[in-house]
């Protein structure tokens, strides 16, 4: 039983951390042979027959589209089909892998959840098949039965440290070894009892200083077939906000329904462009940036609109729409919480 | 971690405000939902309360709810980046403390709407 790391083992931790972060962020092409061998081994560990076919795909989107559609084509009744997919995934997950997401994986997951079909980046073949409502249903119901591959690298980083650095052979180590091989060699995997689809790694990956997906010049993460996710400091934005940013309406920085997207729009077009496009006057500025600045703007369809530009506890700046009769930033900020100014201004902290 | 003072002055965690109050309103109804999510986020970055002796009480007002805390609990923001610091809630030497939770709103042509993030 391993109870304590030696100093030599502890000294290896930073190197091991950096090694696995590099694996998770790699934009090298998938190692298909290595991925196939590891995946077949994982099926065996899970007491399943090896898949008859392992299909490489260019992106996670294609992997999770092709898998459910192939399953549909195999002609299994719907309920049984879903049960099979679920059981394979849960068996593999329980027996081989654990799920630990990082920010990149969450953003890709979120993008697929919100915008699963992104024409024209999907394949023409799948485009045709997805015309059928049965295929759309199969995709919607089952795409989520995926394994994260390199995006779930954190568990393999943890367990492989004990196995490889500490030379600790724990029970089921052979399963962990093959899981780590699978993690290192590919991206998303959609396992099925008969086959598996395996995605390539991304070819583009841009992050900000905080490690969040971020690019103002193109997709923040993209695969070789062109499918990708556009993000501003971790907030996923529509692709045309970046690809055609000269056509992005600056008023979205003030009026978009979601404040995070409002902030992203302001960063893309720049506050100078927003203020140049929408004539704005400062009504009141509080000394405390967390109370903010009250602005008045004559929007084309709403003259005399007022906005509070305010810093939140994380240091980020947001714009909130406030009533046109507010006279001070303090009054406007208190209004957003439906508080009197007297109670509001006593606040202990803002996080 | 910030420890809230139970003197009625507010602490803000992103788009919600929390402060100790003296009593639950009459119309508040107890929620048994777990985990205790006091503020849902459109993007999944909920504000949740972690602690054994915590009950959530909802009201007819969509932006107003209450927590009854016996012992210690923590208000956490579930996001891996740009995370709002956790807030420690503590009933101290009292059997329980009641906290009012207010969601942030903004002006809309119809009056107001909840801030979406």
Residue A277 is predicted with a pLDDT of 86
DSSP secondary structure letter of residue A130:
T
Q: Report the distance separating Cα A98 and Cα A183, nearest Å.
A: 11
The whole-number average pLDDT for the span A37-61 is 93
Our CA-based measurement puts residue B16 at a distance from the nearest CA of chain A, in whole angstroms, of: 8
Asked if residue A196 lies in contact with residue A46, where contact means CB atoms within 8 angstroms, the answer is no
Q: Tell if the CB–CB gap between B107 and A321 is shorter than 8 Å.
A: yes
Q: Tell if the CB–CB gap between A234 and B2 is shorter than 8 Å.
A: no
Residue A120 scores a pLDDT above 50: no
SS3 category, A217: coil
* Helix ranges restricted to H, chain A: 7-11, 13-25, 32-45, 60-73, 78-95, 103-114, 124-129, 133-142, 153-160, 173-185, 239-243, 252-255, 259-269, 271-277, 329-336, 341-344
Residue B14 is predicted with a pLDDT of 87
Q: What is the pLDDT along chain B (117 residues), one digit of tens a residue?
A: 889 999 999 999 988 999 999 999 999 999 988 888 888 776 667 889 999 899 999 999 999 999 999 999 999 888 777 788 899 999 989 999 999 999 999 998 778 989 887
Asked if residue A233 lies in contact with residue A214, where contact means CB atoms within 8 angstroms, the answer is yes
Residue A95 is predicted with a pLDDT of 36
B62: left (phi over 0), alpha (psi -120 to 50) or beta: alpha
Q: Tell if the CB–CB gap between A344 and B81 is shorter than 8 Å.
A: no
The more confident residue out of A73 and A80 is: A73
Residue A182 scores a pLDDT above 90: yes
A3: left (phi over 0), alpha (psi -120 to 50) or beta: alpha
DSSP secondary structure letter of residue A149:
G
Interface test with A, best of B16, B44, B75, B82 (most A CBs within 10 A): B82
Residue A102 is predicted with a pLDDT of 39
**B76 interfacial to chain A (CB closer than 8 Å):** no
Q: Domain coordinates of chain A in residue numbers?
A: 7-199, 206-277, 278-350
CA A233 vs. chain centroid, Å, equals 11
Residue A23 scores a pLDDT above 90: yes
Our CA-based measurement puts residue A336 at a distance from the nearest CA of chain B, in whole angstroms, of: 5
Residue A98 scores a pLDDT above 60: no
Could you identify the residue written with the tokens 């903010």? A292
Asked if residue A270 lies in contact with residue A285, where contact means CB atoms within 8 angstroms, the answer is no
Kindly give, in sequence order, each residue whose CB lies less than 8 Å from that of residue B106, ignoring residues fewer than 6 positions away: A320, A321, A322, A336, B112, B113, B115
Give me the half-sphere count of Cα atoms (radius 13 Å) on the Cβ side of residue A331.
11
**pLDDT tens digits, one per residue of A311-330:** 988 888 889 999 999 999 99
Q: What is the ipTM of this complex?
A: 0.92
Q: Where are the beta strands (DSSP E) in B1-117?
A: 2-3, 11-13, 16-21, 29-31, 36-39, 47-50, 54-58, 64-69, 72-77, 87-90, 97-103, 105-108, 111-114
**Which of A45, A3, A1, A25 shows the shortest CA–CA distance to A176?**
A45
């Amino acid at each position: 039983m391993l109870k304590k790391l030696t100093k030599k083992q502890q000294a290896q931790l930073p190197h091991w951390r950096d090694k696995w972060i590099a694996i998770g962020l790699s934009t090298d092409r998938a190692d298909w042979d290595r991925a196939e061998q590891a995946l077949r081994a994982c099926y065996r560990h899970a007491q399943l027959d090896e898949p008859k076919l392992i299909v490489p795909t260019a992106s996670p989107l294609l992997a999770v589209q092709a898998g459910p559609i192939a399953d549909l084509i195999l002609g299994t009744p719907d309920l049984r089909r879903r049960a099979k997919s679920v059981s394979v995934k849960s068996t593999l997950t329980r027996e081989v892998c654990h799920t630990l997401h990082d920010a990149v994986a969450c953003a890709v997951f979120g993008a697929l959840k919100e915008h699963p079909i992104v024409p024209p980046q999907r394949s023409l073949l799948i485009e045709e098949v997805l015309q059928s409502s049965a295929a759309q249903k199969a995709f919607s119901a089952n795409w989520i039965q995926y394994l994260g591959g390199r995006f779930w690298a954190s568990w393999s980083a943890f367990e492989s440290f004990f196995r490889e650095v500490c030379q600790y052979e724990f029970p089921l180590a052979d399963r962990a070894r093959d899981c780590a091989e699978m993690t290192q060699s590919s991206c998303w995997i959609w396992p099925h009892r008969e086959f598996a689809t395996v995605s390539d790694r991304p070819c583009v990956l841009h992050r900000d200083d905080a490690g969040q997906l971020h690019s103002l010049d193109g997709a923040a993460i993209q695969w070789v077939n062109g499918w990708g996710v556009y993000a501003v400091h971790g907030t996923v934005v529509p692709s045309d906000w970046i690809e055609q940013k000269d056509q992005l309406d600056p008023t979205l920085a003030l009026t978009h329904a979601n404040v995070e997207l409002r902030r992203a729009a302001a960063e893309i077009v720049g506050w100078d462009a927003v203020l140049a496009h929408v004539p704005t006057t400062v009504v009141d500025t509080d000394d405390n940036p967390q109370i903010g600045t009250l602005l008045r703007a004559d929007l084309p369809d709403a003259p005399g609109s007022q906005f509070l530009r305010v810093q939140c506890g994380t240091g980020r700046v947001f714009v909130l729409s406030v009533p046109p009769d507010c006279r001070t930033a303090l009054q406007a900020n208190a209004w957003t919480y439906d508080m009197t100014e007297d109670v509001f201004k006593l606040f202990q902290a803002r996080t | 971690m910030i420890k809230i003072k139970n003197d009625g002055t507010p602490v803000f965690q992103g788009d919600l405000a929390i402060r100790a109050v003296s009593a639950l309103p009459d119309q508040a109804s107890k929620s048994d939902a777990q985990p205790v999510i006091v503020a849902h986020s459109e993007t999944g970055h909920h504000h949740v309360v972690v602690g054994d002796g915590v009950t959530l009480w909802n009201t007819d007002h969509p932006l107003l709810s209450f927590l009854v805390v016996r012992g210690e609990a923590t208000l956490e923001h579930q996001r891996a980046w740009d995370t709002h610091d956790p807030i420690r809630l503590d009933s101290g030497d009292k059997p329980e403390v009641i906290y009012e939770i207010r969601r942030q709103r903004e002006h809309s042509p119809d009056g107001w709407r909840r801030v979406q993030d």
